[in-house]
Amino acid sequence: MRINIAIDGPSASGKSTVSRELCKRLNYIHLDTGAMYRCVALHAERLNTNINDDNQLIDMLESLAIELTDDGKVLLNGEDVTDAIRTDEISMAASDISTKKIVREALVEMQQEMAKEKGFVMDGRDIGTVVLPDAEVKIYLTASASARAMRRYLENQKRGIESNLITLKNEIVDRDYQDMHRKYSPLRQAEDAILIDSSDMTVTEVVDEVMRIISEKI
């Protein structure tokens, strides 16, 4: 039996890493909805869109095509933007533009269409609450801001990017606040979601725990 799995949680909580690993084990398809908001932010920035003007947002969305490839690449109107959407600037711009109702409606529709069949692991902020309220398994994955900042710091170090731990933590706290307090579909744990705090867990431990939850459902 194939099911859909919703993984929500704050930024840098490990949603994408855990989702990718689950997909490998289950042979499911991963849909990283954060990457879609990041694409919108990059496209809007390139077009110089005023995000407070709904008409400009509509025009911007009409000229946007997002593709998430099977090998994990993100294409914006055919261009590979996998790395370009991962900058700190685009992280905050994605959080800003995701507060807009028009943007959310357009992306939620795309996401629901993409996951019409079962067999998806979708990660984001509103998957269990809005996008896939009927998902058979819902996980709310979180970790302390300090643990998340440290993970980002080590990730950056591996990639040769210099960063400051305190700045990273402040950015995480700011983005959490905006994502949790926006008017439309704020980040919150769905009533039927299972909370996993990964502050003191390895990726494998989290994946094993989610697999255990899934096996109870299937």
| Binding residues vs ligand DC (CB under 6 A) | 11, 33-34, 37-38, 94-95, 98, 124-127, 175, 179
What one-character DSSP code corresponds to residue 85? G
30 vs 38, beta carbon nearer ligand DC: 38
In the chain, the amino acid numbered 62 is: E
Terminal Cα-to-Cα distance of the chain (whole angstroms):
7
Give one DSSP letter per residue of 49-74, joined into a string.
Answer: --TT-HHHHHHHHHT--EEE-TTS-E
Cα 105 to Cα 14, 29, 84, 100, distances in angstroms: 25, 22, 24, 9
105 vs 218, beta carbon nearer ligand DC: 105
Smallest separation, CB 204 to ligand DC (Å): 21
Smallest separation, CB 187 to ligand DC (Å): 7
**111: number of CA atoms within 13 Å, CB side?**
29
Smallest separation, CB 122 to ligand DC (Å): 8
184 vs 209, beta carbon nearer ligand DC: 184
What one-character DSSP code corresponds to residue 129? I
Smallest separation, CB 114 to ligand DC (Å): 13
Q: H-helix or E-strand containing 5? A: strand 4-8
In the chain, the amino acid numbered 186 is: P
Task: Give the chain's count of helices (H) and strands (E).
Answer: 8, 8
Q: H-helix or E-strand containing 202? A: none
11 vs 210, beta carbon nearer ligand DC: 11
180 vs 218, beta carbon nearer ligand DC: 180
Smallest separation, CB 117 to ligand DC (Å): 19
